Amino acid sequence: MKDISVVIPVYNEEKVIGRCLESLAGQTLKPKEVIIVDDGSTDGTEREVEIATGRTGRYTPRNDVVVLRQKHLGAGAARNLGTKHSTGDILVFVDADMIFSRTFLADLVKPIQEGKSKGTFSKLEYVVNWNNRFSRFWNYAKGIYEPRSIPVDYPETAPVFRAILRTEFDRAGGFDENKGYNDDWSLSEKLGTKATETKARFYHYNPENLSEAFIQARWAGKRNYKFGILGGLIKEFPLWAVGAGVIKAIRGKGKVSEGLLSLLTLYPLFLLVIKSAATIGVIEFTFKGKPSK
């Protein structure tokens, strides 16, 4: 049985990191270690990690948790640092805003443990906070009208590894730290192979207000587009992206949970915010080379 190391990059995640760690603590298959890399957080993330891991004295200290800190360099750099300090044979990469079914780790690594796969993912990813209107709007903007993060008809392979053999990670030379939002695609690109599907079930939190949506959309805009900056600006520019998004949502109105008034008022405002943020991200990534949030 191969040992498992879970690596979590964290940047200003004080609201969710405690729930993530609690969920990992309840897994049926226990990881050898959980490595948290604080990527220069400026909020209360450090304190929440200390509470969740027992470092404040309120809970029993967890010896399986390692906490590292670095200046703000981005998720790819944080994952690379965490992996450098890990000892497991299988690496599992999750985000701070995720929680998991009790059998998540067991289901995710089973094909790897059995020698049937070198890396896996799962499309059974669901939205926890679907009761929040802005969380639903975030999905609508992706053309998904149910509390799933990945469409049902998504392929059985993916360019993002949720779990991977350490030997394969080392062969790839780690994540590309300069790719921005799509840094987690870089292992697949380097290896020339994709992750295989599993039935591991997990959940994450969508942005719950305009401020959170702006931050996340700005980060999502920092990636490579077809046709470079021109392609990014065409895709994200709010003047036409807002109108196109509203029309698309209205056409799918039978699938959404909003009334027509909301789709014609609040939803356009939401789209304006996230498309403006994404446009800023495109420009920052192109001219400033800033891959971090």
Q: How far apart are CA 232 and CA 281, in angstroms?
A: 9
Give the pLDDT score at 56: 58
Question: Among residues 169, 223, 176, 165, which one has the least CA distance to residue 191?
Answer: 169
User: Cβ-count burial of 160 within 10 angstroms (0-12 exposed, 13-18 middle, 19+ buried)?
Assistant: middle
Q: Are the C-beta atoms of residues 160 and 184 closer than 8 Å to each other?
A: yes
Q: Are the C-beta atoms of residues 139 and 274 closer than 8 Å to each other?
A: no
The tokens for 80 are 């690379």
Q: What is the pLDDT of residues 65-121, one digit of tens each?
A: 999 999 999 999 999 999 999 999 999 999 999 999 999 999 999 999 999 999 999
Give the pLDDT score at 64: 85
Give the pLDDT score at 55: 66
Give the pLDDT score at 248: 79
Distance between the two ends of the chain, CA-based, in angstroms? 37
- With bands split at pLDDT 50, 70 and 90, how would you rate the model's confidence at 60? low
The answer on pLDDT for 3 being more than 90 is: yes
pTM of the model: 0.92
- With bands split at pLDDT 50, 70 and 90, how would you rate the model's confidence at 6? very high
- Find all residues with CB under 8 Å of 9, minimum gap 6, and list them: 37, 39, 75, 78, 79, 82, 95, 96
Give the pLDDT score at 127: 97
Map tokens 């400033």 to a residue.
288
pLDDT (average), residues 259-274? 88
pLDDT (average), residues 153-181? 96
User: For a pLDDT cut of 90, what percent of the chain falls above it?
Assistant: 72
The answer on pLDDT for 199 being more than 60 is: yes
Beta bridge partners of 125: 202
Domain boundaries, the chain: 4-204, 210-287
Q: How far apart are CA 74 and CA 11, in angstroms?
A: 8
Phi/psi for 165 (5° steps) reads -60, 140
- With bands split at pLDDT 50, 70 and 90, how would you rate the model's confidence at 18? very high
- With bands split at pLDDT 50, 70 and 90, how would you rate the model's confidence at 234? confident
Give the pLDDT score at 253: 61
Give the pLDDT score at 243: 78
Residue type (1 letter), 261: L
pLDDT (average), residues 240-256? 74
Q: Are the C-beta atoms of residues 66 and 77 closer than 8 Å to each other?
A: no
User: Cβ-count burial of 135 within 10 angstroms (0-12 exposed, 13-18 middle, 19+ buried)?
Assistant: buried
User: Cβ-count burial of 58 within 10 angstroms (0-12 exposed, 13-18 middle, 19+ buried)?
Assistant: exposed
Q: How far apart are CA 106 and CA 250, in angstroms?
A: 41
Give the pLDDT score at 281: 93
CATH no. for 4-204: 3.90.550.10
The answer on pLDDT for 59 being more than 60 is: no
